[in-house]
Structure 1
Amino acid sequence: MSQPQKGICAEPNLHGLFLMFNVDEGKEAIIRKKLSVILDIFEHYDEEHYEGMVSGVIAIGSNYWVELFPGAFPKELSPFPDFSEYDRSAPVVPFDLFVQIRADRADICHAIGLEVCELLQGDVELVEQVKGFRFLDGRDLTGFVDGSDNPRGMKKLDVAIVGDEDPDFTGGSYIHVQRFQHNLDKWNRLSVAEQEMIMGRSKEDDVEFSSEYKATFSHSYKMSITDEQGQPVRLLRQSMPYGDMKVQGQYFISCARSAASFTRMLRNMIVADDNGDYDRLLDFTTAETGGAFFAPSVNFIKQHAK
C-alpha cells in the first residue's frame, strides 16, 4: 500500500493549527511541487522535535481536485453534502486546500504554519486559520469526552485509509471538515442528566448508555450506523476544541476510506426520522463551515511534484 500521510492516523495531540487556502488561478503546476515541500517541512520538524509528536495532513478540496490533478479522480470524492431542515443545516464552504498541523507544542505548530504560509505566499489566499487545543482529558467544550468511538491501533487504517478498492488512490483518505460554534450559555443551563440524555452517554466517566436507555434523538444514537451486514460503520475523528473568551466551538475533522460514511451520519443528524427525531445536540451548536477533501498518499504527492 502507498504510504498514508502521518497525520491521518496520528494519536491525539495537545495543539493543532488548521489552515484553509484558495489557490490563485493558473498556479496548479507550482502548487503540485509545493505540496511535496510541505511534506518535507512536516518531516523535518518531526525529526528535529520528535518529542513534540509532530504530524500534518495536506488535503485537496473536492471542487479543486480536477484542476490540480486532472488525470485521475478518487472514486468517491464529491462536494460536501448539502443537508438542511428547518433551522438545522450543514453549510457548504468549499476551499481548495486544507492543511492540518498538530503537535504537543504550540510553538512548533506556529513555526510550521509560518513556513507553510511563507512557502505558499503569492500563489494562494489564506482564507481561514483556527488554533485547536486539547481540553482537559480529551473533552469537547461541552464537557463530554470527544472521539470515544474512535478505532484504536491498526484498526485506524481499516477505517481511515483507502485500500485496494481504488488502486490509484490507496493510502489516501476522505476528509470532511466542519467548524462548529457552541452556544455554551444555553448548554450549561441544562442539568447534567439532560446533557447526558442528549449525548447518549455519561458525562463524568464516558460510558455509553445501553440501547434501552438511549434516546433516539441522542447524538450517540444518530451517529451509529451499520452496513448491509449489520456491522458498525465508523469514522476516525481528529477533531479539536477551539475558541477564546467570546467564541467557543469544535473543529470537526473526520477521516474515512469511504466518503459515504460521513454523508450518512450527517444526514442522520440533520434530517428528522419518521418520529420527528434529529440530533438534539444541534440545538446547542451550529456548523458554520463545511468542506470535503481528499488527502492523497505521500507517494501520490511526491510523484505528481515532478
Structure 2
Amino acid sequence: MGGRTPIEPQRVDAPLTSSATFLVLSVKLEDDAAINTVRSTLASVEGLSKNVSIRDLSASFACTVGIGSDAWDRVTRQPRPAELHPFKEFHGKKHTAISTPGDLLFHIRAQRRDLCFEFERQLLDSLGDAVSVVDETVGFRYFDVRDLLGFVDGTANPVGPAVTDSIVVTEQDDPASAGGSYVVVQKYVHDLTAWRNLSTEQQEKVIGRTKLENVELDDAPGGQQQSHKSLATIEDDQGEEHDILRDNMPFGSPGSKEFGTYFIGYSRKLWVTEKMLCRMFTLDRDDVLCTFSDSIG
C-alpha cells in the first residue's frame, strides 16, 4: 500500500525523484490584497497537491514550501524562527555564493515531469499577479544519482533516524518553530569544458571521492587544498559533526549550453548550512573566515 499513499504535506524527507521543479517567487509585500492571496494559496497547497498526486499515487509527488526572511512576518503572522535572516553572501577568491531576491520557494518533485508541471500551473493560476517569478529551474535525475560533473551526489546525506535529527527543529532548539526546517538554495552553473580538461585523478582530488566507485578519499595533508568532501564536513565547538539533507539535482540545456547543479539543503540548524557554503567558497577549512555560533537555534 506504500506506493498508493500520498506523501504528507511539507515532508522534507520525501523520496528522491526523477524530476523536480525549483520555483522561487517574489511577493508584493506592500500590497494587502497580494498578501491575502498568498496566504490563501499557501493554505490550499495541501489540496492542490492532492489534486495532482491522485492521478498517479506511485509517482511520489511532493511539494515543500519555504518562506523567506523578508516575507515571513507579513505572510505568516507567526513568531520568527530563531535563525531566520536574509542570506549572507560568501566571497571567495574566484567565486561568490550570491544572495538573490525571493520570498517563496516551492520544491516540487515527482517521478513524472507532467505532475510537477500541472501542480506549478495550478499554483501560479491561484497566486496570479500577487507574485512574480524570480527563478524556475527544472531538475532531472542523471544516471545513477550523479551530477553533471560525473560524481555521485548526496552520498553524505544522513539516513534512517539521523535524517530527522539533522533537519527538524526541536522544542529545545526553538519552541515556536519546532517541527520546521531551514532551507537554503543555490544555483550553480558549471564550466563543463574546463572540468573535462582535468584528468580523472585531478577531478577526484577536487571532490574527495573516486569517480567510478564513489569511494571516499583521505583528506589532503595540512597546508594543501582540501577537497569538497573535507570542506563540507561541519563540526561544532565540541567536535560533534552536523549533517544537512541535500536534494540537489542537475539541470541544463545542451542548446543553450547552460549546465549546472541546483543545490538545496535542509537543516535543523541554519548555521550548519551557512558554514558549509562559506567553506566551499572561501576554501577555508580552519574557519578563519567562517565563524558561526553553534549556540543559536
User: TM class, shorter-chain normalised?
Assistant: 0.7 to 0.9
CA distance in 2 between partners of 1:273 and 1:23 (Å) = 36
Are residues 1:182 and 2:182 paired?
A: no
Identity of matched residues, %: 32
SS in 1 for 2:87: coil
What corresponds to 2:4 in structure 1?
Answer: none
Alignment of 1:79-94 (within 5 A): 79-94=86-101
Amino acid at match of 1:128: D
SS in 2 for 1:250: strand
What corresponds to 2:35 in structure 1?
Answer: 28
CA distance in 2 between partners of 1:95 and 1:255 (Å) = 17
After TM superposition, the score normalised by the length of structure 1 is 0.84
CA distance in 2 between partners of 1:118 and 1:39 (Å) = 16
What corresponds to 1:9 in structure 2?
Answer: 13
Are residues 1:231 and 2:240 paired?
A: yes
Q: Greater CA deviation, 238-247 or 213-222?
A: 213-222
Give yes or no for contact 1:60–1:98 (8 Å, CA) kept in 2. yes
Amino acid at match of 2:262: Y
- State the shift of 1:219 in Å: 0.5
Amino acid at match of 1:228: D
Q: How well do the aligned residues superpose, as a CA RMSD in angstroms?
A: 2.3
SS in 2 for 1:263: helix
What corresponds to 1:242 in structure 2?
Answer: 251
What corresponds to 2:278 in structure 1?
Answer: 267
Are residues 1:222 and 2:231 paired?
A: yes
Alignment of 1:139-218 (within 5 A): 139-164=146-171, 165-211=173-219, 216-218=225-227
CA distance in 2 between partners of 1:231 and 1:271 (Å) = 22
Cα distance 1:275–1:111, how it changes in 2: closer, same or farther (>3 A)?
Answer: closer
What corresponds to 2:294 in structure 1?
Answer: none
**1:227-250 C-alpha deviation (Å, 9 max, x unpaired):** 233221111001100011011001
CA distance in 2 between partners of 1:275 and 1:118 (Å) = 48
CA distance in 2 between partners of 1:4 and 1:65 (Å) = 23
**Which one of the candidate residues 49, 53, 62 is aligned to 2:60?**
53
Amino acid at match of 1:254: G
Unaligned 5+ segments in structure 1 are: 279-306
- State the shift of 1:276 in Å: 12
Q: Greater CA deviation, 262-271 or 128-137?
A: 262-271
**1:54-101 C-alpha deviation (Å, 9 max, x unpaired):** 111111111211221344100110111221133321111020111111
After TM superposition, the score normalised by the length of structure 2 is 0.87
Are residues 1:18 and 2:26 paired?
A: no
Give yes or no for contact 1:61–1:94 (8 Å, CA) kept in 2. no
Alignment of 1:37-76 (within 5 A): 37-76=44-83
- State the shift of 1:127 in Å: 2.1
Give yes or no for contact 1:18–1:100 (8 Å, CA) kept in 2. yes
What corresponds to 1:256 in structure 2?
Answer: 267
SS in 2 for 1:64: helix
Unaligned 5+ segments in structure 2 are: 1-6, 290-297
Cα distance 1:272–1:205, how it changes in 2: closer, same or farther (>3 A)?
Answer: closer
What corresponds to 2:3 in structure 1?
Answer: none
Amino acid at match of 2:65: I
- State the shift of 1:272 in Å: 4.2
Report how many residues are paired: 276
Q: Greater CA deviation, 190-199 or 152-161?
A: 152-161
SS in 2 for 1:111: helix
Cα distance 1:277–1:7, how it changes in 2: closer, same or farther (>3 A)?
Answer: same
Give yes or no for contact 2:208–2:219 (8 Å, CA) kept in 1. no
- State the shift of 1:192 in Å: 0.5
Amino acid at match of 1:62: S
Cα distance 1:101–1:272, how it changes in 2: closer, same or farther (>3 A)?
Answer: closer
The structure, 1 or 2, with the larger RCO (C-alpha pairs under 8 Å, 6+ apart) is 1
Give yes or no for contact 1:217–1:277 (8 Å, CA) kept in 2. no
- State the shift of 1:213 in Å: 7.3
CA distance in 1 between partners of 2:221 and 2:121 (Å) = 49
**1:202-235 C-alpha deviation (Å, 9 max, x unpaired):** 0011111133679642101111111233221111
CA distance in 2 between partners of 1:249 and 1:222 (Å) = 20
- State the shift of 1:153 in Å: 2.5
